[in-house]
Amino acid sequence: MDNNQLQQLIEEISIGVFGKAFHHTARFNERLRTTGGRYLLSDHSIEINPRVLELHGQEELRGVIKHELCHYHLHIEGKGYQHGDQDFKKLLKETASPRYCKPLAAERRRATALHIYQCRSCKLLYRRRRRMDTKKYRCGKCMGSIIKVNAEV
């Protein structure tokens, strides 16, 4: 789907669901990371994250578009268009628009320890992601000196 097809889809949804025309521009924005779309107050345009379509399909895309159109139409009419406003919540419910988008960012795995240090006295292990200067630190348990055991790969 390209920007022209997106523009046409948003115009169709606007007329079909809201009964009002969408007179501004719509485009995909690949720089969006965590949000499905956004409505820009400055020029009344709507930007959609293309990952919504890639990851979740056409139905989720339609939901994101309806959500952004709620912002658009309420702002144009001078009503409460922000997420916390009653007008916005009411219009979301009336149009069966989702309040939130499904997650788009891939789950970030927590990095494991790359460096392992050990106390010379009590043999307590310290696992660290960053290297540490063993001359500057002592064991927190027995105050013994610390040595680097190995680096995990």
Residue 68 is among the residues annotated as catalytic for this protein: yes
125-128 sheet: strands from edge to edge: 125-128, 115-119, 146-151
Q: How confident is the model at residue 153 (pLDDT cuts 50, 70, 90)?
A: very low
**What is the model's pLDDT at position 103?**
85
What pLDDT, in 10s, does the model give residues 54-67?
Answer: 999 999 999 999 99
Kindly tell me if the per-residue pLDDT of 99 is higher than 80: yes
What CATH number labels 3-95? 3.30.2010.10
Catalytic residue among 47, 68, 94, 152: 68
**To which residue do tokens 């307590």 refer?**
124
What pLDDT, in 10s, does the model give residues 21-74?
Answer: 999 999 999 999 889 999 999 999 999 999 999 999 999 999 999 999 999 999
What CA–CA distance (Å, rounded) separates 72 from 57? Answer: 23
